[in-house]
Structure 1
Amino acid sequence: MTDQKKILNSLKFYSAFLKTVNEENFVRTPASGGWSLAEVYSHILSANSLSIVAIARCLHKTATLKRRKADWRVRLILFFGRFPPVKYKVPEVLEASVKKISLEETANGLQKLVRKIEEIDKGFAKFNPHYKAKHPRLGYLDARQWLRFIYVHSKHHERQLKRIAKELG
């Protein structure tokens, strides 16, 4: 299965999960602290949209020309499709965009994201692995690596959503 299809499957989970939550629980901050479900969705929509912009920059050759491979730790994350089991602080670039959004805003944002992901493969015909855009934590990634990152990142937050929902009851 391609990363694009894996992402679309993950986004199906996000859409289905969204239908199981009421507005009150959606915006409620868990007793243990951290993000509400709304804030997790806000983060995913924002980060994945920015990742799609990075992919477009790489594919349109407006990103940085870099011949060096990604760090071995980054390659391991992308290969295994998982982040190491540690808590990460959201990069400041994204922290400001995280907010409590409504169920309706979230559903609309997911639909837009699905459309963007469905269209993304058209640009890979002229893929060049040397055009890379900088990720705030992982360094310079090419378009395929950015696509893989979207999948890894989305799966990571699926687990977070399940954990928060369990805590909320």
Structure 2
Amino acid sequence: MDNLKLIDAYKGFLQNYSRKQLRYIPEQGVWSIGQMYDHLIVSAQDYLDHVEDCASAGREQEEGKTEFGESIFSTGGFPPIKITLPDEMNAPPDNSKSREVLILELEQLMTRVKEWEKNLGDINQKYKAEHGGFGWLNAREWFALIEMHFRHHLRQKDDLDKRLGLKADH
């Protein structure tokens, strides 16, 4: 599934949640559906910022990926585990956004994805930006992270749906 289809699917899933369900935190340390959406959108925008960094790098970078980064890109996705970030990178996402705001932000993300998708082939693959866990990634790799990350969170969405008494819908 490509970025736009997956983001569009998430946009469609939003129709299933009431305001209360979007903000429901089932237990301490577990995000609400709304927080998961905020995290996905903020992360994807950050990945696109790094695509932009690569496009304007101006000099080649010979450094490569970490072992974990190599693993993720060789398998084409994140492992089916909960990944916990260090505390300084793990502030809880925003839990106050409405469905309408999240849909608008997903649409803005889709517009930006379309713009960069057209230009990826023009960016020197040796122009890279560093990811804290995966090492040095080029623009195509940063772009690929969007789909991998959205796909990874489908498991979390299914778990949250179960906690809300809803059926999985993907």
TM-score by shorter chain over 0.5? yes
TM category, shorter: 0.7 to 0.9
Structure 1 residue 116: Cα displacement: 0.5
Specify the alignment match of 1:69 in structure 2.
64
Report % sequence identity: 27
Structure 1 residue 92: Cα displacement: 5.2
Change (3 A) 1:91 1:48: farther
Change (3 A) 1:97 1:143: farther
Stretches of structure 2 lacking an aligned partner (at least 5 in a row): 166-170
Q: 1:43 aligns with which of 39, 46, 51?
A: 39
State the Cα deviation string for residues 86-119 of structure 1 (Å, max 9, x = none).
3212355653471102212111100100101111
Change (3 A) 1:161 1:16: same
Specify the alignment match of 2:6 in structure 1.
10
Specify the alignment match of 1:154 in structure 2.
150
Conservation of the 8 A alpha-carbon contact between 1:41 and 1:106: yes
Specify the alignment match of 1:89 in structure 2.
84
The answer to whether 1:78 aligns with 2:93 is no
Q: Which moved more, 1:129-138 or 1:94-103?
A: 94-103
Q: 1:55 aligns with which of 38, 47, 51?
A: 51
Stretches of structure 1 lacking an aligned partner (at least 5 in a row): none
Count of residues in Structure 1 that have an aligned counterpart in Structure 2: 164
Specify the alignment match of 1:21 in structure 2.
17
Q: Which runs of 4+ in 1 moved over 4 A?
A: 91-94
- Residue 84 of structure 1 aligns with an amino acid whose one-letter code is P
Instruction: Give me the TM-score of the superposition, normalised by structure 2.
Output: 0.86
Distance 2:94 2:47 in 1: 19
Question: What is the Cα-based RMSD across aligned positions, in Å?
Answer: 2.1
Conservation of the 8 A alpha-carbon contact between 1:27 and 1:37: yes
Structure 1 residue 134: Cα displacement: 1.6
Structure 1 residue 81: Cα displacement: 2.3
Structure 1 residue 157: Cα displacement: 1.0
Instruction: Give me the TM-score of the superposition, normalised by structure 1.
Output: 0.87
Conservation of the 8 A alpha-carbon contact between 1:45 and 1:110: yes
